[in-house]
Amino acid sequence: MNTIVEARQLSKWFGEAVAVNNLDLTIGPGITGLLGPNGAGKTTFIKLALGLYRPSRGRILVFGEEPRNNPRVLGRVGNSPDTDNLPGSMTGYEFLYWMNRLWGMTAREAKRAAERVCGTVGMTERMHDLIGEYSLGMRQRIKIGQALAAEPDLLFLDEPMSGLDPKGREEMFALIRSLGETGRSVIVSSHVLHEVERVTSEVVVLHNGRILAQGPVQHIRELIEEHPRTVTVECASPRWLAARFLGDVSTLRVTVNEGAFTAETTDLDGFCGKLNDLVVRQRAKITGIRCVDENLQSVFDYLVK
């Protein structure tokens, strides 16, 4: 089946607030990134696909059928929400077991499924520890585990990297990629481009409930690169280092703060190359570099102008 999720003139509003606005969207197999800032409509779209919300207008189809109150569709779908209400007084295994029982599994099926998904998400060694003792990364893994227990064909992961440290993010990236390799369709919601870029090349960009762009990550990158980028360099001598870029045609603006300078450039690669040369040849001391446009806010601002 080439179409997994399809929206046709889909809208959802709450009073006067419009969360999804006349959306036409087709999502196929594999891993797809659903990108947008907070309030873009990502979670509302997921809840519509899960049948938790009824469309205000239009239709949404999952596996060719409307999902609301449809056991045939919902039995093939798993969801790891962005909220975390896990019971800290239960072990990870106990939580998974009872979620499986609520799903309708027998005691034996629930036990086997809980053990299996703990292995899948890398929680076997800690599954009998209390959830209240888990790190954020472990809690995210248990949430994904409950979504996987019934072996769904389609999996929604809403902000799965939220709150994770760098190590936890790397582990989550690897887990999501492995889920895609099993043949499942996975829709990953995030507001950070490079996070989704680590797990898939196919993205849908939402803003105010509308599609701004859809296609390969490279297409989104090109949209970002069409306008100036902002880079903050943390260093020992910000005034001296900032002065080295003032004469460059590609440098539009430079501001200096204590312990750092920020530059707006139309040539990010050239800026980074020159910065690297200054470090090597002039022994400039740099403690950190942040491209503040690395999340999607820059492309949102650019596309909605």
pLDDT of residue 300: 60
Q: How far apart are CA 262 and CA 264, in angstroms?
A: 7
Mean pLDDT of 147-169: 90
CATH class for the domain made up of 228-303: alpha beta
Does the pLDDT at position 9 exceed 90? yes
Contact 204, 10 (CB under 8 A): no
Which among 111-115, 197-201, 202-206, 282-286 has the top mean pLDDT? 111-115
Does the pLDDT at position 127 exceed 60? yes
If one counts every other C-beta atom within 10 angstroms of the C-beta of residue 228, the result is: 19
Q: How far apart are CA 122 and CA 142, in angstroms?
A: 9
Instruction: Give the tens place of pLDDT for each residue, 190-229.
Output: 988 778 888 998 999 998 899 988 888 777 767 666 667 7
Pairing of strands 5-14, 57-62: antiparallel
Mean pLDDT of 148-152: 94
pLDDT of residue 47: 97
Instruction: Give the tens place of pLDDT for each residue, 80-102.
Output: 999 989 999 999 999 999 999 99
Taking alpha carbons only, the member of 201, 199, 134, 129 closest to residue 169 is 199
* Burial of 186 from C-beta contacts in 10 A (0-12 / 13-18 / 19+): buried
Quote the DSSP letter at residue 129: S
Domain 5-223 has CATH 3.40.50.1820: no
Domain ranges of the chain: 5-223, 228-303
pLDDT of residue 295: 46
